[in-house]
Amino acid sequence: MDITNRTVFIAGATSGIGLELARRFAAAGSSVVVGGRRADLLDQLAAEGFDTVPIDVTDQDSVDRARDAILRSHPGLDTIVTMSGIGIPEDLRDPAHFGAAQQMIDTNLLGTIRVIDAFTPHLVGRGAGTIITVTSGIGFLPFPLMPTYAASKAGVHAYSEALRAQLDGTGIEVSELVPPAVATTPEQAQRNPRALDLAEFATEVMDLLQTNPTPHEILVEGVLMHRWAERDGTYADLVAQRSQALAMLPSRQ
């Protein structure tokens, strides 16, 4: 993937990994449109020089409006990144968790599908382009404290595989970015010393994107233990280790 001359839309890029990738694409020479829900952050990024568009991936009308605005101003759009996502801990012994579960499925899985559906006709019409979905190491090696988050990301993985097969022959490539834990703020780095540094993670991602051919899965070194746990025979032990976090739940106190 040539990252120097792309026209990229990243849904969910007002902070964290999405914003860092937006800055990396822009620094490499690509045009970048940043999408997000928070008007204040979009205003800050517009002042930084980014084109911006409001989008709520849980709202079909919002997705359609964002698509129409982007294609009017950037008819050469060729790359979509579905970065929008949320992760919420859940106590499955408490039926009240369902609201959080519903929110995560609507954002992480259905939101991804809404954005892809909105832009697929445009990319098919161009006969070329790239869709980058975003899953998680947790989609391959569950973190029991966040069960629906894991399920939503596993769902995006399966959807990405099917999307790639269905778009075969159209000129559109589908890549799946699989982040491990990444420290996007100093507070996160303090809470999880094992989390990858954001800048180091982004550098590795951009290097992998430029591999020829573009990998079907963008796997930084730090996520390989998650991705291949079943193959390597470490799955059960790692899930048991990660289950220790369940002690944090109120019902376990």
Instruction: Give me the active site residues, please.
Output: 149
- For residues 17 and 201, the answer to whether their CB atoms sit within 8 Å is yes
Determine how many CB atoms are found less than 10 A away from the CB of residue 171: 13
Residue count of the chain, please give it.
253
* Amino acid code (one letter) for 131: I
C-alpha span between 158 and 165 (Å, rounded): 11
- 28-31 contact pairs (CB < 8 A, 24+): 28/3, 28/4, 28/206, 29/3, 29/4, 29/5, 30/3, 30/4, 30/5, 30/6, 30/79, 31/6, 31/7, 31/74
